[in-house]
A and B are shown apart, each in its own frame.
Chain A
């Protein structure tokens, strides 16, 4: 169990500035996910934490103890940081059996034979692969190899467990199983986990916190709910959430008291409490903005029930997928994607009414792309 602090970390590969002034605190017991598209620096951050990469600038602390101080050229050896890493490729040693793979680190620590045996078996049992102990990695399936890799990482009871895209080599079904497995593992061991992925579903379902990376910088840190309801900028909003968020262009006006937003969807008023006033945007003058509306926040009604913020729309296409239905609508010139649970049938060009929830909308300054109006994360009462 440990707390990790990264302060002003810079990492260059030649002229390539891979990490730019990364500051991040990971609290004890967190399941922190580093999320972002490939090449954004998340794996490099993980490797800096593990000690496999040496940053050119910055300080890293674990439980207040200095692990990296670039200014003094001090880099603690990876093995002295009391952490373990699961590689994307698993990096299982092909010439050792599952048992030997898991036992290697314990042997290095010169534990007694009996203790090694106990610890290895406990790790294998935890990952439910004890019957494969004598198999070589190439005799195991991808999912089993994954489990051996995780067992190897937890056998030494590290204070910190690092996982580098561990599920990306698994097929879709196994991935869901392993997500549950990892979440349980986190709960049972209480170990701090840092998890790297580009898959936002993994990030949202498993983590207690997410750090969103963008071109070597941390764009946003928060709980999954924070990131989902209030992505910090248009890119983040676009990246997180599947199906993707609807962007509707409009014009905004803020008089210091209330923000008015005019778009194809009509006019909305937002109170001062929900406005991020410190963000840069013009005051007392009209400026272009973008509304962000999550597909599940678009409620479709067959007839106008007369609810507030109900507008007429036309069905452009509908894609029933069993458990859910995706409906593409047009409102004026704008396109709007909605999602409904269950199988629903709509005809093409059918007229419907959509109810929108202004409190759950995000507003972005079009010029800077930054969030200027928070959405509430309160549950919306279902219609009816």
Chain B
């Protein structure tokens, strides 16, 4: 087909033409949906982001006394100066930034090689017990990272926190640097994010035809040479991608760093930012969240620039699902034992300690029958074995019940709305592929993905903590609505990605066939699209549901007591003298999540597609 600019045809003005054109646009419900979606995305993503940026340049009421002669709403560089060029800069910016980068770097250095190695062993070698191992290896990814932080505390807590952990209870002297701070944070995050690398690299390894490796063998290469010059270069893009995503995710993560760092005043960007936003000057917190967004989105863009193009060859030869396993001889038993030990130390043991601690009267007091009770689960204060206990067992605790209700309500409503919107966005971006509105929808929906959860909620906090539009939108601070809205929009990228994948499977021709048969747009959606999209919708819904149910980072800033969710309640309780209740809540969430994953799995959901 030859190229050529469409000729500019001078159309004589015609009312009929204008009428028909308008009818064509308005008469097609698809156009209306596109328009509506674009407006929605613009209002929910672009405007809040711009508002927050604006806030960092505007004098707020709280700073009136700090800035002489300024009025509310004046332009100011106060916040940015405060953050970037004040005597405090070192303490509030450079130090937390350094901590964040340090943690990001170490987490990546540990978790990516670990995940990649496990992936190779599981996909490419003849190591026994693959089915069970494969499942166990990704379980850590389903468990929220802050639960792991609680497990860590259950094992390593020392007298600095008041209640003792397992090891201190056994008489082992645990120094603060081991129990809290960077070392602990890096360990816990690595044990979380290795599964992310594992999922990415094993996906890439599976797509490589083993014939490529066999050809190397025919050419006379030995196993190490094959691994080094054929397999590794082919999965390198996936490994790089995993590394960059791990850096981005660990820099933005809040829950682990708050749980393990705050008690010894070890701050990272995310925790420092929350302090500013909950206290003041809030503008500094917003400025910090902008820096975090730039940092996170910078790494993600770097990923797409560096790896995106080259990634394509990772799937070359993807047709060959036939793959011959590499025989690694005796080494497989040694490795099997190592993996088993790793899984025991990283998952089974901490979970066990966490579960047991929820039954203990004195944490760190051993597992003797006299130290065990069901108090943290069903006890009431009047029967409390210890005076220091502050609340009832969780199932007798109204706070817990309210948090449970909040969590279920939030997850359910948010995930239904998110999944529904996701399908529509997916529909628009697949049907509008190559058209401006398809691209625009895709790009707008992608924006929340670039932002760490805490930074994203800072945006919504800035936008809605005061009345907007002259009072038409009241202040939403402290309302369920705000948490709901934030949860929904933050999960748009994920939901619409699953929506796109879902809609991609429905050939456009199926709809065109119905169009020709005379089915209207809504009839097509009802009779063709929805029945075919059903399973994908349910699995997308379940994954969003789980993700919201275990969310802590995203909602931490927005929390007020009436709105506590289970994750935040556990986080609060873990700071108290009674970690048993926090443990019990964590266990409830764990069980809940595992059950949900099982259900999601029945609908064909893939854990690898979820976001940890």
Whether A105 and B517, one on each chain, are in contact in the complex, defined by CB atoms closer than 8 angstroms, is yes
Check B6–A83 contact: CB distance below 8 A: no
Q: Are B20 and A91 in contact (CB under 8 A)?
A: no
A52 at the interface (CB under 8 A from B): yes
Is B3 a contact of A93 with CB atoms below 8 Å? no
Enumerate chain A residues within 8 angstroms of B514, measured Cβ to Cβ.
93, 104
Do B1 and A215 touch across chains, with their CB atoms under 8 A apart? yes
How far, in Å, is B175 (CB) from chain A's closest CB? 63
Q: In whole Å, how far is B468's beta carbon from the nearest beta carbon of chain A?
A: 40
B513 and A91 contacting across the interface, CB-CB below 8 Å: yes
Given the contacts A39-B1, A95-B532, A109 and B513 also touching, CB distance less than 8 Å: no
Stretch binding the partner chain, chosen from B407-415, B424-432, B504-512? B504-512
Q: Which of B528-568 contact A (CB under 8 A)?
A: 528, 531-532
Min C-beta distance of B120 to chain A, whole Å: 36
Determine, out of A14-22, A167-175, A268-276, the stretch whose residues face the partner at the interface. A14-22
Q: Which residues from B are CB-within-8-Å of A16? A: 1, 3
Cβ of B563 to closest chain A Cβ, rounded Å: 41
Q: Could you tell me which residues of chain A, from 42 to 58, have a CB within 8 Å of some CB in chain B?
A: 50-52, 56-57
Give CA–CA (A17, B1) in the complex, Å.
7
Main secondary structure of the interface of B (DSSP, over half): helix
Which of B10-18, B63-71, B587-595 forms contacts with chain A? B10-18
Chain A contacts of B528 at CB under 8 A? 93
Shortest CB distance B28–A (Å): 10
User: How many of B's residues come within 8 Å of A, CB to CB?
Assistant: 31
**Taking the complex as formed, is A216 at the interface, i.e. its CB lies under 8 A from any CB of chain B?**
yes
- The segment from A67-75, A284-292, A300-308, A355-363 found at the interface with B is A67-75
Judging by beta carbons under 8 Å apart, are A17 and B20 in contact?
Answer: no
User: Contact: A95 with B531, CB < 8 Å?
Assistant: yes
B4 interface residue per 8 A CB criterion: yes
Chain A residues within an 8 Å CB radius of B20: 72-75
From residue B431, how far is it (CB to closest CB) to chain A in Å? 13
B2 within 8 A of A: yes
Q: A85 contacts B513, CB within 8 Å?
A: yes
Q: Does B24 contact A (CB under 8 A)?
A: yes
Mark interface residues in A72-101 (1 if CB within 8 Å of B CB, else 0).
111100110001110101010111000000
Asked if residues B16 and A93 are in contact (CB atoms below 8 Å), the reply is no
State A118–B475 Cα separation when bound (angstroms): 63
Q: Is the CB of A91 within 8 A of B14?
A: no
Which partner residue on chain A sits nearest B505 by CB separation?
Answer: A94
When C-beta atoms are compared, the residue in chain A nearest to B516 turns out to be A78
Q: In whole angstroms, how far apart are the Cα atoms of A73 and B23 in the complex?
A: 9
**CA separation between A109 and B519, bound complex, in Å?**
9
Are B2 and A73 in contact (CB-based, < 8 A)? no
Q: Are A57 and B9 closer than 8 Å at their CB atoms?
A: yes
Q: Tell me, in angstroms, the Cα distance from A94 to B510 when the chains sit together.
A: 9
- Complex CA–CA separation, A128 to B20 (angstroms): 44
Which single member of A17, A72, A75, A95 contacts B3 (CB below 8 Å)?
A: A17
Contact with A along B489-521 (1 / 0, CB 8 A): 000000000000000000101101111111100
A213: min CB distance to chain B, Å: 11
A284-B517 Cα distance, complex, nearest whole Å: 60
A133 to nearest B CB, angstroms?
18
Given contacts A15-B5, A17-B6, contact A75 B523 (CB under 8 A): no
B304 at the interface (CB under 8 A from A): no
**Nearest chain A CB to B135 CB, angstrom units:** 30
State the Cβ distance, B603 to closest chain A Cβ, in Å. Answer: 16
Please report the C-alpha to C-alpha distance between residue A339 and residue B587 in the assembled complex, in whole angstroms.
Answer: 82
B298 → chain A closest CB, angstroms: 32
Residues of A with C-beta under 8 A to B5 = 15
Residues of B within 8 A of A71 (CB): 11, 14, 17
Contact of B507 among A50, A84, A91, A95 (CB under 8 A): A91
Chain A residues with CB under 8 Å of B517's CB are: 79, 84, 104-105, 108, 152, 156
A41 proximal to B (CB < 8 A): yes
Distance from B19 Cβ to chain A, minimum over Cβ atoms (Å) = 8
Flag if A108 contacts B519 (CB, 8 Å).
yes
Please state if B532 and A18 are interface contacts (CB–CB under 8 Å).
no
Collect the chain B residues with CB atoms within 8 Å of residue A105's CB.
516-518
**Considering the complex, which residues of chain B in the window 358-412 have a beta carbon less than 8 Å from any beta carbon of chain A?**
none
A74-B16, A93-B528 known; A83 and B11 CB under 8 Å?
no
- 5 closest Cβ pairs, A-B complex: A105-B517, A79-B518, A91-B509, A73-B20, A91-B513
| 5 examples of A-B residue contacts, CB within 8 angstroms | A51-B516, A72-B17, A104-B519, A105-B517, A108-B519
Extra A-B contacts (20), CB below 8 Å, given A17-B2, A93-B514, A105-B517? A15-B5, A17-B1, A17-B6, A41-B1, A72-B20, A73-B18, A74-B20, A75-B20, A75-B24, A79-B518, A84-B516, A87-B509, A87-B512, A89-B507, A89-B509, A91-B509, A105-B516, A105-B518, A108-B519, A215-B1
